[in-house]
Amino acid sequence: MEWVYDNQATDPYELKIQKFLKKALKNDDLATKSARTLGLYKFLRDHKFQSSDELFNAVYLDKDKKQRFFSRKDAKRVYKLLAQNGGDEGMKPYDKIVWRWLQFMYEFSPDQIKQVIDFTEPFAFPLHTVEEDVPGFGQSIGFAVDMAQELNKNIAKSLQVYTPQVLGFAPIPEASTVGIVLGYIFSTFFIFMNMALFVARKDLGQAFTQSFALIPFIGTALQNASESGDRLLEKFSKKRGKFIDQVRGVFPGLADFLNMVFFDPNYSGDPKADAEYWKGKIGEHAESVKNSINTLKESVSSPEKRAELMAKAQTKGQELHNRALETVGNLQNKAKEQIENIKTKATQAVNQAKSPTAMGGFSKIKNKKGKWRTQRKLKK
């Protein structure tokens, strides 16, 4: 997560501004510097920094990364300003997660599709475009939309909860059931309106959460659970950085492990760099598979290779056969040894049982009637 002022612009937003300024100012150098400055603002706005030191180490002036763009004092001021303004424009964790994956897939797309997306994005999210690009009135419109969204959400929940209770007093059969159906029907209008507003503001995670309310009977419960999960992720993201920093002071290795295992919902990173990394990995794997297939084709098509491959297969098969015979022989020998041991132990036990000593000194004597009986010998 680094930004260098002297690098060439690669962000579509920045390139679009640079092209417009070149036409308007007729000065390429001034247009490039102005666009880079706006690009820096976008970088600071889209990324969340845990501390002023992280901000200080993320922005460089030269390509060699020897000179920082901000001094430490300026970095602290900028960090405080970003913290006061929300930094990431108040996006909630669900929105950030969904938008992060969309940006990742955008970087994976071909250039032709990227051009279409760049052209249609301002029109696909009109409220977001107005809030960001209309000076003075954009944030006022955003505040009004916030109020409308909360109002629609409360009205929809109230209709689904209270309509069955009110109609339950009506003297008609199945009044509560009718109230549930009517409450669901009436609330659908406000739910769809809210979903449209969320999408227009690029809050796709919130639109997904709102869509749970469309499910009959359990929709409100699912929506409440989803909203609670969103708030929990928001609290977790705030505590996560502080917790890892505290652990790092005592166990640095454990802190790195926790940082790797527990994901950060507010992580924005560099989708382009992530996409390039995975493109490289997929390319390496595809090349390896291609080489393996080509090697197999050569081995099958060439008589010499085929004969060599068959010889190796026969040798390997004979080795496996011999190994299996050896294993079976060893098992048979062990079984014979165990059987002989059992026979020997059994013979010894029988002989010991037949001996007078083993019988505990008992002997058979005749009684007065001439019958045999067992009598313990008296020791002298």
Q: Could you read off the pLDDT of 88-141 as tens digits, one per residue?
A: 445 778 888 888 888 778 887 888 888 888 888 878 888 888 877 766 567 678
Residues 308 and 297 grouped into a single domain: no
Q: Is residue 199 part of a domain?
A: yes
Closest CA to 209 of 159, 194, 217, 100: 194
Q: Which domain holds residue 297?
A: 273-301
Beta strands 362-366 and 372-376: pairing type? antiparallel
Sign of the alpha-carbon torsion through 250, 251, 256, 262: negative
Judge whether 345 lies within some domain.
no
Residues 100 and 188 in one domain: yes
Q: What is the CA radius of gyration of the chain?
A: 40
Q: What is the mean pLDDT of residues 307-316?
A: 82
> What pTM was estimated for this model as a whole?
0.50
- Residue corresponding to tokens 């002298």: 380
Residues facing 376 on adjacent strands:
362
Note whether 208 and 101 are same-domain residues: yes
**CA-based nearest residue to 145, from 125, 161, 165:** 125
Where is the domain boundary, 65, 87, 109? Answer: 87
Cα dihedral 182, 187, 189, 193, rounded to 10, equals 180
Mean pLDDT (the chain, rounded): 78
**pLDDT interval class at 9 (50, 70, 90):** confident
Asked, for residue 347, whether it belongs to a domain, the answer is: no
How many structural domains is the chain composed of?
A: 4
372: helix, strand or coil: strand
Q: For residue 291, which of 301, 283, 279 has the smallest C-alpha distance?
A: 283
107/254 same-domain check: yes
Q: Are residues 234 and 140 located together in one domain of the fold? A: yes
Residues 234 and 169 in one domain: yes
Same domain, yes or no: 263 and 148: yes
User: What pLDDT score does 84 carry?
Assistant: 45
* Averaged pLDDT for residues 242-247: 80
Q: pLDDT by residue (tens digit) across 179-210?
A: 888 888 888 898 999 899 988 888 888 888 88
Lowest average pLDDT, out of 111-120, 212-221, 303-312, goes to: 303-312
Residue among 338, 316, 335 nearest 327 (CA): 335
Higher pLDDT, 91 or 341: 341
Asked which of 214, 248, 269 is the last residue of a domain, the reply is 269
Q: Are both 34 and 180 inside the same structural domain?
A: no
